[in-house]
Amino acid sequence: MSEAISQNEAPRETAVETRKLVRRFGATVAVDRLDLTVYKGDLFGFIGSNGAGKTTTLRILATFLRPTAGEAFVLGLDVVKEADRVRHVIGYMPDFFGVYKDMEVTEYLDFFGACYKIPAARREKTVAAVLELVGLADKRGALIGALSRGMQQRLGLARVLIHDPQVLLLDEPASGLDPRARIEVAAILQELQRMGKTIIISSHILSELEKLCNRVAIIEKGRLIYSGPAQGAAKEFQSAPVVWAAVRGDPDHALKLLKECSFVKEVRLIDGRLRVTLDGEEGDPSQVAEALVRGGAKLAELRPEEKGLQEVFLRVTRGETQ
């Protein structure tokens, strides 16, 4: 499924792109002809059930897996033919990463800084800068084993940032975190986006992705179902408009009035309020208000039903895995 671009919208520079990407494990197709585009500066949510192909795709982009077929590019670099150059422009954080619990925080980051050939004279300042960014400046001398789960996740993010990558590939970075720690990680990601980083984040916490990401992709069984604005998914898959109405007085009278309207496809009384599904071609929310007032009902509230990303996901996927 390709994403349409408005004629009034200026073309954006691509940061990550896959073209007909395929990855098989024996007879299992983990990624199935995936066409995906992530633009520079996106905070991009990658959504799918367990086994949908998210981690496999991220591992291909991170150069840990070779695709069976198709192509993938990061900042114009081929992840197979130019793998070493790709590794220097990305930061990859898997859902589970190893930490050396008996090492101090600064020792851990200094080690990875040396792996990326950051000169010793610069490493101390670099380590201090990334610790400040992720809110761990006061833990620089602490043993990693003494850190909370949330702090260890932030340390993992600091490790990813040590070589100042332009593209971040984060696989479930909020996994296992309590609500406060998730909020802290989300704030760090928003700051990184403001700094110009391109971020791809996979997560099962869809309500948070909806608030955090400007664009999302939904995949199932390795196939792309939707790619576009996070707030646009509901409109893409909404078959008929739905409004909620509340009246002062007898709701059963209002229910009867709406059942007689040709523009109403379905109406149900739920906890004293009316859930009205309008006819996709004829329905107009203003007609609901007009019909109720004309019939003698006193309208107290009328609002459209807002479908969140979680509702859209449950509707368009079946929970199938390869």
Q: According to the 3-state scheme, what is the secondary structure of 134-160?
A: CCCHHHCCCEHHHCCHHHHHHHHHHHH
Q: Domain ends where: 206, 236, 266? A: 236
What pTM was computed for the model? 0.78
8 found inside a domain = no
Q: Domain ends where: 178, 204, 236? A: 236
Query: What one-character-per-residue DSSP string does 246-267 give?
Result: EEES-HHHHHHHHHT-TTEEEE
Query: Containing H/E element for 288?
Result: helix 285-294
Residue 249: CATH number of its domain: 3.30.70.100
Domain that holds residue 206: 14-236
Which tens digits make up the pLDDT trace of 173-209? Answer: 887 788 888 888 899 999 999 999 999 999 877 877 8
Name the average pLDDT for the chain. 88
Q: Are residues 113 and 244 in the same domain?
A: no
2 found inside a domain = no
The mean pLDDT value for 33-51 works out to 94
**Which residue type does 12 have?**
R
299 found inside a domain = yes
Q: Are residues 262 and 296 in the same domain?
A: yes
The confidence score (pLDDT) of residue 2 equals: 42
Q: Are residues 181 and 269 in the same domain?
A: no
Of 247, 286, 246, the closest CA to residue 263 belongs to: 286
4 found inside a domain = no
Rounded Cα gap, residues 145 and 152, in angstroms: 9
Residue 151: CATH number of its domain: 3.40.50.300
Asked whether the beta carbons of 23 and 30 are under 8 A apart, the reply is yes
Q: Are residues 219 and 294 in the same domain?
A: no
Residue 4 has pLDDT above 60, yes or no: no
Cα 167 from chain centre? 15
Q: Map residue 23 onto helix, strand or coil.
A: strand
pLDDT > 90: percent of the chain: 65
7 found inside a domain = no
The confidence score (pLDDT) of residue 6 equals: 40
Q: Are residues 274 and 228 in the same domain?
A: no
- Provide the 8-state DSSP code for 279: P
Rounded Cα gap, residues 187 and 173, in angstroms: 13
**216 burial type by CB count under 10 A (0-12 exposed, 13-18 middle, 19+ buried):** buried
The mean pLDDT value for 60-65 works out to 97
Asked whether the beta carbons of 18 and 72 are under 8 A apart, the reply is yes
pLDDT bin (cut points 50, 70, 90) of residue 3 is low
Of 309, 306, 307, the closest CA to residue 216 belongs to: 309
Which tens digits make up the pLDDT trace of 73-92? Answer: 999 999 999 999 999 999 99
264 found inside a domain = yes
Q: Domain ends where: 203, 236, 269? A: 236
